[in-house]
Amino acid sequence: MSLDTQFAGSLPQIYSRYLVPLIFQPYATDLQKRVGTMHLSRLLEVAAGTGVVTRALAAASNASIVATDLNQAMLDEAAATGTPRPVEWQRADAMALPFPDGGFDAVVCQFGVMFFPDRAKAFAEARRVLRPGGVLLFNVWDRLSENEFADVVTGALARVFPDDPPRFLARIPHGYHDVPTIQRDLSNGGFTRPPSIETVAARSRADSAHVPALGYCQGTPLRNEIEARDASRVAEATDVAAAAVAREFGSGHVDGKLVAHVVTAIK
């Protein structure tokens, strides 16, 4: 597993405590509303992380839910947090799903597609396990410059490590925002109908500038990049990022822009 996809140690707990309410909950609510309009019997979630969408899906639909992720540590955190009703947790690779053909009415993925090494292959796997007429529903972040806290944190870390700036946020979470590329990958994955792609803006709010700095610097694989450069400077990098957020948004309550694309593809 590469540093870009490794969520180990304290990352799942920090991710769940700080990043979920900061950036993931608004879009989990959006997916919850979309799924709530569908008539589903069996639903698969891939890249479920610590379960923010799983909990929303369990509240929105009576469908049986199988929630998967490549990282067992993330699933363990999700299971420990719990869901409104029972779901099945299973470790699985989105590019090699351990499920039979046509077994699900919908496949849902929140902010996971960007991590897949071969997106067309992952889309083909999602299509394979969908029944005819089934729905693939996922979201991806828009470009870094449209997501203010992530952009400011990335710029701050470039000042901490000027010779080799950590670029995880730009490369991976915000590296798959081009709509024609998404359309092409879906087509290469076998989805012949044009997808619906909607750009959705939201707000990212926290009680202090320290929250987004800690969430990004220590609750994502950005931490792996920082440690690869100098493991002794994680706290310093977090403090520099917090100071940058405070300069831009204030030292008290902070409020930044989020933008993502929400994609619906039908088999």
Q: Residues 253-264: pLDDT tens digits? A: 999 999 999 999
**Confidence class of residue 3 from pLDDT cuts 50, 70 and 90?**
low
pLDDT, residue 6, reads 66
Backbone angles phi, psi at 53, to 5 degrees: -75, -35
Q: Give the Cα separation of 266 and 196 in Å (integer).
A: 9
Per-residue pLDDT reduced to its tens digit, 37-87: 999 999 999 999 999 999 999 999 999 999 999 999 999 999 999 999 999
pLDDT digits (tens, 9 = 90+) for 106-159: 999 999 999 999 999 999 999 999 999 999 999 999 999 999 999 999 999 999
The pLDDT-based confidence of 10 (bands split at 50, 70, 90) is confident
Give the tens place of pLDDT for each residue, 140-151.
999 999 999 999
* 119 vs 52: CA distance, rounded Å: 22
Q: What is the CA radius of gyration of the chain?
A: 18
> Pairing relation of β-strands 196-206 and 254-266?
antiparallel
Tell me what the pLDDT averaged over the chain comes to: 95
Residue 1, pLDDT above cutoff 60: no
Q: Alpha-carbon distance 164 to 91, whole Å?
A: 34
For residue 251, pLDDT over 90 is answered with: no
Going by pLDDT thresholds of 50, 70 and 90, the confidence category of residue 245 is very high
Q: 202: pLDDT confidence band, cut at 50, 70 and 90?
A: very high
Task: Round to the nearest angstrom and report the end-to-end CA distance of the chain.
Answer: 30
If you average pLDDT over residues 221-234, what whole number do you get?
A: 95
**In order of start, what are the domains of the chain with their CATH numbers?**
3-266 (3.40.50.150)
DSSP structural state of residue 166: -
Look at residue 8 in the predicted model and tell me its pLDDT: 67
pLDDT confidence of 105, banded at 50, 70, 90? Answer: very high
d(CA 60, CA 32): 6
Is pLDDT above 90 for 9? no
